[in-house]
Structure 1
């Protein structure tokens, strides 16, 4: 509780202080109803095998200074949060680099939009036509 009071005072002194990433991780761990130990055990990057430590997650959630996560840490936390990597990338970009994600839509929609660039143009066109059959374009 004291850490949250301290975060509120810090934010009042520095309105540019951003907490989107910390808020996302804290909220998701709460939604999953997991202890910090259980959550940290799941924070394992499936590619590199890197594990995000319990201490780093604790410092993040309590508003202490942490080193911004690299892609390996983001993949590990995406595993623990059971969320798309892109959603964590957006929140980390907001908090640590002041980069705001695409405007509008849900975080999941933004993650899908980012994946579209990986598709060839023909597949993007087919996907757009499919989406138009499900949700007709606005006139």
Structure 2
């Protein structure tokens, strides 16, 4: 994955924004969040467990500087540290780092991951939503 130069800013900032707002809500410092960023699936309870995020990386992310795209264990660790559902953190990371938008159906029961949904014109967005409605009707018929 691409590593971004320090000081450069992202076009999209979903994960950065989520990080900043949640740190504020929980009154967390970068140092404390670093301590909490343990992957719950790789033995976070072990005394030898190492945080998967460093203070400097968290600070760079919060300040919308470019960082290396986080992997799944890092996203799990960040979700644990921020006390958020993994899906919420993963959606924000997908949007910021990969340009993948999470689009939900009106009833909130069908989710689609769509590259560049925000940049689509309204007609193409409606086609995606119609496909999701169609998928929802198909599932109800099962």
More helix by share: 1
What is the CA–CA distance in structure 2 between the aligned matches of 1:54 and 1:104, rounded to whole Å? 37
Cα shift readout 1:94-120 (whole Å, capped 9, x = no counterpart): 001111102367xxx68x969xxxxxx
Coordinate RMSD, CA, aligned? 2.7
Structure 2: give runs of 5+ residues left out of the alignment.
1-6, 43-48, 113-139
Q: What does 1:44-123 align with in structure 2 at a 5 Å threshold?
A: 44-48=38-42, 49-51=49-51, 52-103=53-104
More strand by share: 2
Structure 1: give runs of 5+ residues left out of the alignment.
1-5, 12-16, 115-127, 129-139
Q: With the length of structure 1 as denominator, give the TM-score of the two structures.
A: 0.62
- Greater RCO structure (CA 8 Å; 6+ sep): 2
Instruction: Describe the SS at the equivalent of 1:101.
Output: strand
- Number of residue equivalences: 99
Runs of 4+ in structure 1 off by over 3 angstroms are none
